[in-house]
Amino acid sequence: MRIRLIGVGGFGANFVVFLNKLNGGDYPFLTGNPECLLINTDAAALDRDKEITGLLIGHAIVGGNGCGMNAELGRQAAEMDSAKIEKVVQGADVVFVCAAFGGGTGGGATPEIARLAHLAGAKVIVLGVTPFAFEEPLLPQAKKAIRNLSVNTAYVEFQNAKLQEAMGGENTLPDAIYKMNSWIAEIIDGIVCQLKAGHPMAIRRSCPVLGECRL
Ligand SMILES: Nc1nc2c(ncn2[C@@H]2O[C@H](COP(=O)(O)OP(=O)(O)OP(=O)(O)O)[C@@H](O)[C@H]2O)c(=O)[nH]1
Ligand SMILES: [Mg+2]
């Protein structure tokens, strides 16, 4: 089974790098070698994480400088480079896409990447984080990104705002982020373990209308 893990935008890259640093010790699925890939509109960020294969999108519109939290630019970037994205999702049985829904690249490009992966024949699972409470202006575009996910895309939402609240005031932001990354990794690990064991499990999204999701 070919499993591909795609980190989109800044958060997506942070998460994939976090997983790669674990060396497979904590999460057995890592020993199964998922193929990791980063997709970003930010050339410098891809360069920083160059130990993982990167795909730069949208260079013609943002010049490799990221989307400045503008999801419309992220959407256009993915659309204009859909041929490149099609190539990197070919041949995968399962594609996990990790992104921040509130980010310009993450929120804008993720629905298109997920759609192309589905068209290429993969089961697609998006793992997305929503904004922290102090990032309220990003909420509308995060909600829009979720609405833009096709009905063929399963998704799991991780809410930064709820996470911070749940962890209480004594934890620092890096603690909260570490914890969130660990939860996302556990979910991917669990799904892959089930699939590899051949358990009869379907990955679906049953309802195209998405309301509030809770932790
Ligand atoms: N939990 C968690 N959230 C993160 C992390 N990095 C960024 N975020 C959240 O992600 C959102 C911003 O998304 P980014 O991924 O930085 O943006 P991007 O997709 O790169 O988009 P552009 O920079 O606009 O091209 C904000 O809500 C951040 O709080 C992280 O490591 N962990
Ligand atoms: Mg960025």
User: Ligand 1: which atom is nearest the Cα of residue 18?
Assistant: 31
Q: Tell me, what's the pLDDT at 58? A: 98
Ligand 2 center–CA 66 separation, angstroms = 5
User: Ligand 1: which atom is nearest the Cα of residue 41?
Assistant: 25
Q: Tell me, what's the pLDDT at 195? A: 85
Of 42, 40, 32, 31, the C-alpha closest to 6 is: 40
- Cβ(18) to ligand 1 under 6 A? no
Please tell me the pTM assigned to this model. 0.93
Query: Over its length of 215 residues, how does the chain's per-residue pLDDT go in tens digits?
Result: 899 999 999 999 999 999 888 765 667 666 556 789 999 999 999 999 999 999 999 999 999 999 999 999 999 999 999 999 999 999 999 999 999 999 999 999 999 999 999 999 999 999 999 999 899 999 999 999 999 998 888 999 999 988 877 777 677 888 888 888 988 998 898 888 888 888 877 777 655 444 444 43
Ligand 1 center–CA 9 separation, angstroms = 7
Of 6, 11, 134, which is best to mutate to test ligand 1, by the most ligand atoms within 8 angstroms of its C-beta? 11
Name residue 158's beta-bridge partners: 129
Distance CA 194, CA 64 (A): 38
Ligand 1 center–CA 15 separation, angstroms = 10
Alpha helices in 150-212 (DSSP H): 160-167, 173-196
Q: Tell me, what's the pLDDT at 9? A: 98
Q: Tell me, what's the pLDDT at 201? A: 76
The architecture of the domain spanning 3-196 is 3-Layer(aba) Sandwich (3.40)
Nearest Cα residue to atom 26 of ligand 1: 131
Task: Please compute, for residue 35, the number of CA atoms within 13 A of its CA located in the half-sphere on the CB side.
Answer: 14
Nearest Cα residue to atom 8 of ligand 1: 11
